[in-house]
């Protein structure tokens, strides 16, 4: 009996179950909504005028109203288990292909110029050897 009560309190419905239930009750929650808001900008401006040799300013306040509209999606449609699995498999394939391309690039950069360096060093060794032989014979 205790086991059943504990299992009842531990088990619960998943979030997708509740989301699907809410969509059945009110399908308009999936639609895109538009929110409008009014933004008031107040600024203080001044106009200079001169009396005799002094400059005076007349200050006045200007108010501009702008309407801002933005769209948002309240709730996204939940994905099924199969869609989640397919998406994760595609992500894994992309990661593996990127890693493979990196390996191919590193192999290509490592293979370039290997034999040319050895030929250059061999020729330099021959030239240095001949130079020292000529120095010793003199």
pLDDT, tens digit only, all 138 positions of the chain: 777 777 766 777 777 778 888 888 888 888 888 888 888 989 988 888 888 888 888 898 989 888 888 887 777 777 788 888 999 999 998 988 888 888 777 666 555 556 788 888 899 999 998 888 888 887
Q: What tens digit of pLDDT does each residue of 59-74 get?
A: 989 898 888 888 877 7
Helix, strand, coil % in the chain, rounded to nearest 5: 55, 30, 15
C-alpha to C-alpha distance for 65 and 41, rounded to whole angstroms: 6
Domain boundaries, the chain: 1-78, 81-113
- Terminal Cα distance for the chain, rounded: 109
Element (H, E) at 127: helix 114-137
pTM (predicted TM-score) = 0.32
Which residues is 66 bridged to in the sheet?
39
CB-based contacts of 46, cutoff 8 Å, min separation 6: 57, 58, 59, 60
């Amino acid at each position: 009996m205790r086991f059943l009560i504990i299992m009842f309190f531990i088990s619960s419905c998943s979030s997708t179950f509740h989301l699907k239930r809410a969509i059945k009750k009110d399908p308009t929650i999936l639609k895109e909504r538009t929110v409008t808001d009014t933004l008031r900008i107040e600024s203080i401006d001044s106009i200079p005028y001169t009396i005799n040799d002094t400059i005076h300013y007349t200050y006045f306040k200007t108010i501009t109203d702008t309407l801002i509209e933005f769209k948002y999606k309240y709730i996204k449609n939940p994905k099924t288990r199969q869609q989640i699995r397919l998406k994760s498999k595609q992500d894994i394939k992309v990661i593996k292909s990127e890693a493979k391309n990196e390996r191919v690039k590193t192999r290509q950069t490592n293979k370039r110029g290997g034999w040319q360096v050895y030929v250059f060093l061999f020729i330099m060794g021959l030239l240095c050897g001949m130079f020292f032989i000529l120095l010793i014979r003199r």
